[in-house]
Amino acid sequence: MKQTNMDLKTAIRQANGIVIVGHYNPDGDAVGSTMGLKYLLANMGKAADVIYPNAYAQNLKWMDPDGSVLIYNGNTAKCQALIARADLIFCLDFQALGRTDAMTQPLTESRAFKVLIDHHIGPALDEFDLCFSETAVSSTCEKLYQTIAAELDVALVDKRVASCLYAGICTDTGSFSYACRHAGLFRIVAELIDRGADTVRIHRAIFDTFSASRMHLLGYCLHKKLVVMPEYGTAYISLDIEEMERFHYQAGDLEGVVNYALGIEGVSFAAFFTQRQNRIRVSLRSKGEVDVNEFARQHFNGGGHKNAAGGSAFESLSETLARFERLVPDFYTHEIQPKRAALPPIFTL
Ligand code: 5GP
Ligand code: MN
């Protein structure tokens, strides 16, 4: 981290132009943390602009009812001007500026005071002036709440802030099914409920608002595209652009699909490959101690967490899948098999 002794409260008080940035393909935690922080700063009398590199899913739009979020891809000049003018930039839910795609260069060139709030492995400390980064938490939204409590004032968390933070926590834990073993998370959730988060309505807004074509696309993935490699405890799904267009793909439609592959008994490693304009996006998931972060780093120019990571490949889809299939036996021998052997396969009391 750069040499600085300015604390968060002072940085906010002194700021004249504040920008809040989320990562490429912003998910529930990215939108929840950035919008939650925007509303929190508003409660401190400070305006801020939220900018994402690209579009985000329809089922998260309720967090920005005024449509205030700026998408860099499509509003480049305006976003560049805001970044150049900013003297305080918050980077939420990513660990290195490179996760912001085309925004990487303007953010790197900006001389603004940069604050990182995140929960990914390996934060690029030299890119930020102040870091609140911890991998043991469920989500950036949980880390943001802790940071508000430690550095600012939880009284600033009103219903809007609480609702956004709850949204990020529930999406990043798969509705409280992973990354949520610690009781402290549930104490924070209880405080968010006390401060106005309506958990039932938030779940309905996020998880019960898919289009019929998204459901057909999911059905197609599971019925026609799921490849199981039982001897390696591995399963994967892939989609090319033609298939995505056939099902009228919209941003966010593929969120969570990889988890279905991981839901198979005996599968500890799941992958999902999607063809994009200039690359193949790779999503990786694992169970228990099996670490996919390192696999994403080594083989797919990516990273993330132990149980959820992602990256990109710059070959054709078929070449990527063939390479993945060649990598799996070795990954099984060195990672899946030994880590699985350490745990009984079925949970018992
Ligand atoms: P997803 O599969 O949902 O896109 O991403 C899973 C996790 O891996 C997320 O926490 C995400 O931040 C991280 N991740 C996804 N893509 C990349 C990438 O290209 N680089 C790095 N370092 N992390 C990624
Ligand atoms: Mn997150």
pLDDT in tens, 9-20: 999 999 999 999
CA gap 319, 165 in Å, rounded = 40
Q: Which atom of ligand 1 is nearest to the CA of 27?
A: 3
Q: Whose CA is nearest to atom 8 of ligand 1?
A: 309
> In this structure, which ligand is nearest to the CA of 173?
2
* Continuous H helices in the chain: 8-14, 28-43, 76-85, 104-109, 140-151, 159-172, 183-194, 199-207, 212-220, 241-246, 257-262, 293-300, 317-331, 337-341
Q: Which atom of ligand 1 is nearest to the CA of 302?
A: 20
Q: Whose CA is nearest to atom 7 of ligand 1?
A: 309
Q: What is the pLDDT of residue 204?
A: 97
Given a cut of 80, is residue 256 above it in pLDDT? yes
Q: Which atom of ligand 1 is nearest to the CA of 309?
A: 8
Q: What is the pLDDT of residue 347?
A: 80
Give me the sign of the Cα torsion angle 21, 24, 26, 30: negative
Given a cut of 90, is residue 320 above it in pLDDT? yes
Neighbours of 310 (CB within 10 A): 24
Q: How far apart are the first and last CA of the chain?
A: 45
Q: Whose CA is nearest to atom 11 of ligand 1?
A: 304
> In this structure, which ligand is nearest to the CA of 143?
2
Mean pLDDT value of segment 275-286:
96
Mean pLDDT value of segment 197-215:
96
Ligand 1 neighbour 26 (Cβ under 6 A): no
Ligand 2 centre to CA of 119 (Å) is: 7
Q: What is the pLDDT of residue 341?
A: 81
pLDDT cut 70: percent of the chain above it: 99
Looking at residue 332, what DSSP letter applies? I
Mean pLDDT value of segment 204-221:
96
Ligand 1 neighbour 22 (Cβ under 6 A): no
Given a cut of 70, is residue 154 above it in pLDDT? yes
> In this structure, which ligand is nearest to the CA of 92?
2
Ligand 1 neighbour 233 (Cβ under 6 A): no
Q: What is the pLDDT of residue 151?
A: 98
In contact, 169 and 139? CB cutoff 8 Å: yes
Tens of pLDDT, residue by residue over 84-107, are 999 999 999 999 999 999 999 999
Q: Which atom of ligand 1 is nearest to the CA of 311?
A: 19
CA gap 290, 308 in Å, rounded = 10
Neighbours of 80 (CB within 10 A): 17
Given a cut of 70, is residue 243 above it in pLDDT? yes
In contact, 156 and 37? CB cutoff 8 Å: no
Q: Which two tokens stand for residue 218?
A: 């999911």
129 alpha-carbon distance from chain centroid: 22
Tens of pLDDT, residue by residue over 299-317, are 999 999 999 999 999 999 9
Given a cut of 90, is residue 349 above it in pLDDT? no
Ligand 1 neighbour 123 (Cβ under 6 A): no
Which run of H or E residues covers position 235?
strand 234-239
In contact, 28 and 252? CB cutoff 8 Å: no
Instruction: Give pTM, 2 decimals.
Output: 0.94
Which residue among 25, 56, 104, 283 has the greatest number of ligand 1 atoms within 8 angstroms of its CB, and so is best to mutate? Answer: 283
Looking at residue 69, what DSSP letter applies? P
Ligand 2 centre to CA of 146 (Å) is: 15
Q: What is the mean pLDDT of the chain?
A: 96
Ligand 1 centre to CA of 171 (Å) is: 14
- Return the amino acid letter for 227: V
Q: What is the pLDDT of residue 295?
A: 98
Given a cut of 70, is residue 335 above it in pLDDT? yes
Which residue among 33, 99, 121 has the greatest number of ligand 1 atoms within 8 angstroms of its CB, and so is best to mutate? Answer: 99
Q: What is the pLDDT of residue 2?
A: 65
Ligand 1 neighbour 308 (Cβ under 6 A): yes
CA gap 220, 228 in Å, rounded = 15
Tens of pLDDT, residue by residue over 102-148, are 999 999 999 999 999 999 999 999 999 999 999 999 999 999 999 99
CA gap 256, 210 in Å, rounded = 12
Look at residue 110 and give its three-state secondary structure: coil
Neighbours of 31 (CB within 10 A): 29
CA gap 240, 218 in Å, rounded = 14
Ligand 2 centre to CA of 349 (Å) is: 31
Q: What is the pLDDT of residue 1?
A: 63
Q: Which atom of ligand 1 is nearest to the CA of 312?
A: 19
Given a cut of 80, is residue 3 above it in pLDDT? no
Ligand 1 neighbour 143 (Cβ under 6 A): no
